[in-house]
Structure 1
């Protein structure tokens, strides 16, 4: 028996179907609500609104569960690689050895940027934020690959786009880092693994363990359901804009400090605490004071009402990086002190303010010598396969329509125009 939801408006009772997902999540299908009643729903921030049905990522914030295509994030972080996870997100299944080798080769074939893209990166002012550069040159790729701007791309074109942007954005990220820090570019080496090649282009010399830790960090960022930037990619893509425009828009959305910029804000907070003497207990007391402007960054999450499962994994990766590189970072001591004290404090526990993935990622980037303003571009590099998989799924879903939310108007009612001389 199919489930129904009853809604009563002005004494009239109407029934609407209830959709149930594969993990028993339920949603009321209100597609005909306005036509039936003249009413719409309003949901600030879309906290209770499903914009699509998706088979890519499952997230249960109450239980602290995150799975890509059914695979627990804990297993993927331990056993998989970023490039294999990218394949999984896009095609829905883990690849065979032959499929993975072929995919790696295809991604590696995009080992050189178009010359004008490199020149664009070099022409930006040295003071430009790396995210501004990343967004600009990503959409500029559309000029070099005009055939991939097809509003109705073929399967072959979508597969090409996936490999192309994974390969090209890795080089873009490294080039931005090198140029903005006044260092010469390092050519991509297709013989290396995806992460090792990226580290080489960034000028990093590190062990296999450090490369694995960075790979894990990219895996943790690969997708996260319908977050702000992913929703932006889908909204822009719903107009049949090119994939380059859609991904560029996602980069812009990620830029915000409430989204991808949060790890940068965590490090700035740790720096503030360090400069004030390193008293993290005092900082926590300030965070509890409603009259204090200090904010505890890296704790809590819009969807997780439990411990962010990614934070548990990334904490181990952070310890590995610092141990392998021999880094003695005072910020880590402050971070650990904040975590341990907050987790034992009823104020934070009662509000479900647990450390999230941003809490430790900034420390890893800092240990690797990555400038603070590059942190969000690193996030974008990790999120690229998720954006692309979500864009592809959206384009292949027959129910997709151009996104066009409604509103409840609260402005002035009809007024008569007054001539300028009479005002």
Structure 2
């Protein structure tokens, strides 16, 4: 028999050999993660003819377009396992929270890390509802928007403007360590801004809605839940003892729980990017709204409804599916490459809503689309499953206009944004400004050319010069007029 082979225990490290220099590097692995900065130590002399802009002698850079596999922060908030359809807030499965909890209870969990006791919940709710009332000057801001302004534009602007109301909340005025000290006074200031932002989120959203409707604003009522107060502010027109439908109130509360956080999505990352400069939280939350506004993010559930409207009826679904497979149509609402656990909760919630509102006529089209897509190898092989964007059917059944859907996404997501922002402010080692690198592929060094000697570059590439904008009306008439100072080309 041969001698036994002794296998040395494996170390938690990654060994990299740079074939340019023959050197070997050992990079530590912690929590299945390697530090990108470790690659800065992998340097090589610049080769003859190589671009100086590559900065080869300064170490390797890690290219990850769109942050597809780059971790930027350690977090204790939300865990997502897309392959197995798992979503947990602070360790609690989303299914349990949606069935047994309330939105403000989940908000407390996300922000502070544990489910509140009865007294903690009562105190938290009291503060949130107390801070739902806005300064009267805010009404002037809302009235300044055009009657047809998109409600997400209004909401984004309102959050940004809110920071100007509270000087004590601005690190630029009160010191850059205002939120990072972690002492009792700093935490109290932070909590007050959290109360204000969550409380005013529904008020601002309702005000944006009523501007579009040409209605006066409603003072947040006493004695209603968070979502009940929201519905009251949206809809009351002077009726005595107005109480929103408990079915719609509960449905909205569940949807708010489902939308409260989804890890480092585009908007949460935008909030942290802005927050890393130690800007005030109102400005940071405003950037989250701006990011959420985009059609690849918060605007997706609106896109689902527009898609269903364009299909028309269940009979047209097979032809639509074939058009998608030919890349002639875009299938919205199937963007997640896994079975989103939220979609099953939404289906159950939809059934409850439809009992009181009646079924949305688009429901049959949506279900037909779902069934055919889930049986089609084109979609199953790509692991394309229906996602949470089908909640638009519930919003539509509840009577909300399409362009208000992103606002209904933004209101609960304020909680998730604040949870991530607070975590970053209090992280060990302090806050370091986020400053990603780029890969420069532009022109090398070149000398300035006087304007008289310049020739047009890349005339065949339309991206290399601005387009000529056609002018009509007054602009056209002014262009034909003569006046002092008119440029002569």
Same fold by TM-score, threshold 0.5 exceeded? Answer: yes
Whether the 8 Å contact between 1:111 and 1:190 is mirrored in structure 2 is no
- SS of match in other structure, 1:5: strand
**Partner SS for 1:15:** strand
Residue of structure 1 in register with 2:475 after alignment:
none
1:258 positional shift: 0.4
Q: Structure 1 residue 13 and structure 2 residue 24: aligned?
A: yes
1:175-211 per-position Cα deviation (integer Å, ceiling 9, x unaligned): 1111112223222113101111111111176532321
Distance 1:393 1:2 in 2: 31
Write the deviation string for residues 264-316 of structure 1: whole angstroms up to 9, x where unpaired. 11111111111x785122111111112x1x11101022xxx320111111111
Alignment partners' CA distance in 2, 1:12 and 1:353:
43
1:4 to 9, 13, 19: 13
Larger radius of gyration: 2
The equivalent of 1:379 in structure 2 is: 409
| Greater displacement, 9-18 / 96-105 | 9-18
Measured in 1, the distance between the counterparts of 2:11 and 2:76 equals 21
2:56 is matched with which residue?
none
C-alpha distance in 2 between matches for 1:353 and 1:319: 24
Paired residue for 1:287, among 305, 324, 344? 324
List per-residue Cα deviations over 1:336-362 (Å, max 9, x = no partner). 11111111111111111111101x211
In structure 1, the partner of 2:445 is 414
Where in structure 2 are the equivalents of 1:86-125 lying within 5 Å? Answer: 86-125=107-146
CA distance in 1, matches of 2:26, 2:399: 58
Question: Which of 212, 220, 224 matches 1:180?
Answer: 212
Specify every segment of 5 or more residues in structure 2 that has no aligned partner in the other structure, as ranges: 1-9, 44-58, 180-185, 237-242, 455-489
- Does the Cα contact within 8 Å between 2:334 and 2:385 map onto a contact in 1? yes
**What secondary structure sits across from 1:7 in the alignment?**
strand
Task: Within 5 Å, give how 1:257-336 maps onto structure 2.
Answer: 257-274=295-312, 279-290=316-327, 292=328, 294-301=329-336, 305-325=337-357, 327-336=358-367
The 8 Å contact of residues 257 and 265 in structure 1, kept in 2 or not, is answered as yes
Q: What residue is the counterpart of 1:23 in the other structure?
A: none
Count of residues in correspondence between the two structures: 410
2:190 equivalent to 1:158:
yes
* Structure 1 residue runs without a partner (length 5+): 21-25
Residue 154 of structure 2 corresponds to residue 133 of structure 1? yes
The aligned runs of 1:222-261 (5 Å cut-off) are 222-261=260-299
> What residue in structure 2 maps to residue 46 of structure 1?
67
Q: Give the Cα–Cα distance (whole angstroms) in 2 for the partners of residues 315 and 231 of structure 1.
A: 29
Q: Distance in 1 between matches of 2:36 and 2:382?
A: 32
Greater alpha carbon shift after TM alignment, 95-104 vs 29-38: 29-38
| Equivalent in 223, 239, 264 of residue 191 of structure 1 | 223
For 1:159 and 1:17, the matched residues in 2 are separated by 37
Question: For the residues of structure 2 that align with 1:46 and 1:2, how far apart are their CA atoms?
Answer: 27
CA drift at 1:66: 0.6
SS in 2 for 1:185: coil
CA RMSD of superposed structures (Å):
1.5
Question: Secondary structure of 2:29's match?
Answer: strand
Q: 1:106 to 1:278 in 2, by over 3 A?
A: farther
For 1:228 and 1:111, how far apart are their aligned partners in 2?
Answer: 27
**SS state at 1:27 partner:** coil
Residue of structure 2 aligned with 1:32, choices 28, 38, 45 = 38
Structure 2 distance, partners of 1:123, 1:420, is 44
Deviation at 1:137, TM superposition (A): 0.8
Secondary structure of the structure 1 residue equivalent to 2:362: helix
